[in-house]
Amino acid sequence: MPIQLYVRTLVTFIHDLLTAVWIGGLFMINLTLMPAARKALGNEPEMLNLMEKVKQNHRRFIYVAIPGLLITGMFLGRSNTIPKGLLSFHNPYDTAMTIKLVLLVLMTIIAIIRSRRSPQSDKENARKAAIPMLANLVLGLIVLLLSGYMDSVAGIIMAGK
C-alpha cells in the first residue's frame, strides 16, 4: 500500500505543478505582466515585442503541460473509484469531470490557434490577439473551480454522506 500512496502523491504533485504552470502563467501574464509592461512601456513596439517573447517562452511550458496533464489526469482518474466513465453524467463528480475535459480541450485548441498566429506588431491587432489569452485564463479558472468541486464531492462520497 505505501508504494501506491507515494506514486499517487507524486503524480498528483506533477499534475498540480503542470496546472500551476499553465493556468498560473496565464494569470501572471494577463493580470500582472501585461498591465505592468503597458504602464512602463506604453503600447509601443517594445512592449508588444516583450509580450510576444514572454508568450513564446510560456508556450514552451504549455506544450509540456498539456500532454503531462493528460497523462497524469488519466492516471489519477483510473486510480479513483468514483468516476463511472469518461464523458458521463452519472453523478456530480462525473458531470464536473466531463465539463472540465471539454473546457481543457477548448483551452488546448485556443492555445494551438494562438501559437500559429503571427506576432502582432500594431496596437489594435495586439489587443485582439490578447482576447484568446484572456479567454483561456477564464476557462482555466473555471477548470480550477471544477477541480475543487470534484475534490469536495469525492470527500463527501468517500465519507458516505
Q: Hey, what's the cell of 116?
A: 500559429
Average pLDDT, the chain: 84
User: Which percentage of the chain shows pLDDT scores above 70?
Assistant: 88
Average pLDDT over residues 45-55: 85
pLDDT at 78 over 80: no
Q: What integer pLDDT is reported at residue 149 of this predicted model?
A: 92
Report how far residue 130's alpha carbon sits from residue 119's, in angstroms, rounded to the nearest whole number: 11
List, for residues 109-157, the tens digit of each pLDDT value: 988 887 777 655 556 666 677 788 889 999 999 999 999 998 888 888 7
Q: What integer pLDDT is reported at residue 120 of this predicted model?
A: 56
Q: Residue 105: exposed, middle, or buried by beta-carbon count in 10 A (0-12, 13-18, 19+)?
A: exposed
User: Cβ contacts of residue 33 below 8 Å, gap of 6+?
Assistant: 51, 54
pLDDT at 80 over 90: no
Buried b (16+ CB within 10 A) or exposed e, 66-82: bebbeebbebeeeeeeb
Q: What integer pLDDT is reported at residue 102 of this predicted model?
A: 93
Report how far residue 101's alpha carbon sits from residue 107's, in angstroms, rounded to the nearest whole number: 10
Q: What is the pTM of this model?
A: 0.79
Q: Which long-range contacts (CB under 8 A, 24 or more apart) does 118-123 make?
A: 119/48, 119/49, 119/52, 120/48, 120/52, 121/45, 121/48, 122/48, 123/43, 123/48
Q: What integer pLDDT is reported at residue 124 of this predicted model?
A: 63
